Amino acid sequence: MTATLITGIAELTTNEAEYGKLTDAAVVLEGDRIRWIGPAADAGPVDARVDVKGRAVLPGWVDSHTHLVFAGDRTAEFEARMAGQAYSAGGINVTVDATREAADDELRATLRRLVREARAQGTTYLETKTGYGLTVADEARSARIAAEFADEVTFLGAHIVPRGQDADAYLAEVTGPMLDAVADGVRWVDVFCEAGAFDGEQSERVLRAAAERGLGLRVHGNQLGEGPGVRLAVRFGAASVDHCAYLTDEDVAALAGSWDGSADTADTVGTVGTVATVLPACDVSTRQPLAPARRLLDAGAVVAIATNANPGSSYTTSMAYCVATAVLQMGLSVEEAVWAATRGGAKALRADTGDGAVGVIRPGARADLHVLDAPSATHLAYRPGVPLTWAVWRAGRREA
């Protein structure tokens, strides 16, 4: 395998306590793994060298929440929202109609374009969901197409009740034949626990069915108002609960407690809890309150940042925009926001430990690097909106 030395690194963000943040550093990539980090003079023999000439290097972004298998356009909905119309979950049905009518190649082309767009901006590990088909056949093909491009695939048949269908009858389909049709091709199951989608009891049915099949759990919760989503996610040991815009003190305590063993949870606690994934671009686009990321961190919760890229409420693949928003408007430090958008996202996908871990830079981790055209990660918020990606390595291959 070819060993490549990346040298001339002004600031190296490792996300590992053992290494911390290094200056005047170097990294050796070998195959699809990181072999070594430290001073360039100590790197040992290599086959190739790349001098980044005083730029900052961080782990590739880990986008743990996207909806990229879709067709159609919701520009009119966005314009109406910017003119004062309130956001509601019902707009999802517009995308469902267009997605059902689209050919496989159309869905594949959109997904390919958006994944390429994300990677060009430093995203090296990406989750995406089904949820715009909402029939057995359409959810199965969405899962199949998603798996061609995404690192992680989530089944979101419980996204919304399709027009003209009874909620209980539809849930029976989601937790039965629809789940059976996708189970072999997905790792996760999600449910939109929200007014206008599914209530707590209905969401629990979805989570129980998924757990019985040995699939990982995720929850959309507390986006449009307070509700049972967060506490349901913690109780079931879900890997993450996403949105988290409206939280009670009890919600915050439950999320923090899922990591220290004090929460009411069915899962192993202490080292693996429920990540609170915040979606800044979605909050801004829907004119909802920004999720209280500062409050969550101060309470001891683990926070991730993701784009929620989708055609209705957050049509962006820019993790850098989300990081800048978290710093400038949500009260996070640059270091906290970068961690949340890298290792935090990896924790939300249970992918930040062991051989091939993502969201970290250490020997044995996957060779995912994001080189900024700046001397430090601080420039992500210091120069918001400026494209700062200079180079990207994903699994050891240079992609940008």
Residues 254 and 370 in one domain: no
Residues 382 and 252 in one domain: no
Domain for residue 100, yes or no?
yes
128-141: burial string, b at 16+ Cβ within 10 Å, e else: bbbbbbbbbebbbb
pLDDT of residue 192: 97
Residues 134 and 266 in one domain: yes
The β-bridge partners of 59 are 369
Digit-by-digit pLDDT tens for the chain (400 residues) are 899 999 999 999 999 999 999 999 999 999 999 999 998 889 888 999 999 999 999 999 999 999 999 999 999 899 989 998 888 766 899 999 999 999 999 999 999 999 999 999 999 999 999 999 999 999 999 999 999 999 999 999 999 999 999 999 999 999 999 999 999 999 999 999 999 899 999 999 999 999 999 999 999 999 999 999 999 999 999 999 999 999 999 999 999 999 987 776 554 434 589 999 999 999 999 999 999 999 999 999 999 999 999 999 999 999 999 999 999 999 999 999 999 999 999 999 999 999 999 999 999 999 999 999 999 999 999 999 999 999 999 999 999 8
CA-based end-to-end distance of the chain:
21
Kindly state the tokens that stand for 17. Answer: 């306590």
CATH number at residue 115: 3.20.20.140
Kindly state the tokens that stand for 281. Answer: 């671009």
Query: Do 230 and 236 contact (CB within 8 A), yes or no?
Result: no
How far is CA 95 from its chain centroid? 21
**Residue 169: is it exposed, middle or buried by C-beta count within 10 angstroms (0-12/13-18/19+)?**
exposed
Element (H, E) at 390: strand 389-394
Query: Do 159 and 178 contact (CB within 8 A), yes or no?
Result: no
> For the chain, how many structural domains are there in total?
2
Domain for residue 192, yes or no?
yes
For residue 44, the enclosing domain spans 3-60+360-398
pLDDT in tens, 309-332: 999 999 999 999 999 999 999 999
Residues 56 and 148 in one domain: no
pLDDT of residue 264: 63
CATH number at residue 370: 2.30.40.10
Kindly state the tokens that stand for 92. Answer: 């999802």
Residues 18 and 80 in one domain: no
The β-bridge partners of 304 are 277
Residues 25 and 98 in one domain: no
pLDDT in tens, 336-375: 999 999 999 999 999 999 999 999 999 999 999 999 999 9
Residues 200 and 241 in one domain: yes
Query: Do 353 and 219 contact (CB within 8 A), yes or no?
Result: no
Domain for residue 355, yes or no?
no
pTM check: above 0.85:
yes
Residues 36 and 69 in one domain: no
